Amino acid sequence: MRAEFRSLGPDETLELGEAIGRAAVPGLVVGLSGDLGAGKTVLTKGIARGLGCPRWERVTSPTFTLHNVYEGRLRLHHLDLYRLGDAEDLAAAGLDEVLYGADVCVVEWPDLFLPEFPEDRLLVRLRWQGPGETERTLELSASGASSTAVLREVSARAAALLRREVVDGEL
Ligand SMILES: Nc1ncnc2c1ncn2[C@@H]1O[C@H](COP(=O)(O)OP(=O)(O)O)[C@@H](O)[C@H]1O
Ligand SMILES: [Mg+2]
């Protein structure tokens, strides 16, 4: 299932993230692709808020630490794979275990590592969308039963941000 959302500013991206956090289930893996400054970390803040993490406002890109953990309704792992070379590095950092654990896992720069991800996952592609500086398109694709159920709930909760009807798969 795929659905496209439009965000007109950081608050709307936070709101979409919050819907993901509220809908999240144990073991959910969310990959966030998009250029630097696209809003991956803003979306992660929203997810942390939706999971009820008291420290959601302090979420920052773990570009140097690779991995941050926040406590909430479910534990949230926030990964940034920008500096990782290959799948061996992923295993060496113990991050493969995190991806297959029972917590929620949000991963910035997942693209090189998607073969290592669980098949059932939610991928978010964030794109700049002119003409305004703050407009973004967020395309969400779910590839399994669990992530599809999450995306369905997100679409219901964030209906105001839903740009087009679901592109494929029934809602
Ligand atoms: N619609 C939007 N959604 C998210 N961030 C936005 C939006 N419009 C402007 N911004 C700004 O863009 C920046 C996104 O930064 P960040 O989330 O750290 O990007 P990334 O993690 O993708 O590199 C922030 O400064 C944010 O305020
Ligand atoms: Mg970031």
Task: Convert the pLDDT of each residue in 132-170 to its tens digit.
Answer: 899 999 999 999 999 999 999 999 999 999 985 555 655
- Ligand 1 centroid–CA 28 distance in Å is 23
State percent of the chain over pLDDT 90. 86
Query: What is the model's pLDDT at position 130?
Result: 77
Bond from prior residue into 118 cis (ω within 30 degrees of 0): no
As a whole number of angstroms, the distance between CA 126 and CA 73 comes to 26
Counting atoms of ligand 1 from 1, which one is nearest the CA of 45?
A: 17
Counting atoms of ligand 1 from 1, which one is nearest the CA of 13?
A: 3
The mean pLDDT of 2-30, rounded to a whole number, is: 97
Give the CA radius of gyration of the chain: 15
The mean pLDDT of 122-140, rounded to a whole number, is: 93
Q: pLDDT tens across 35-70, in order?
A: 999 999 999 999 999 999 999 999 999 888 899 999
Q: What is the pTM of this model?
A: 0.95
For each of the domains in the chain, give its residue range(s) and CATH number, in order of start: 2-161 (3.40.50.300)
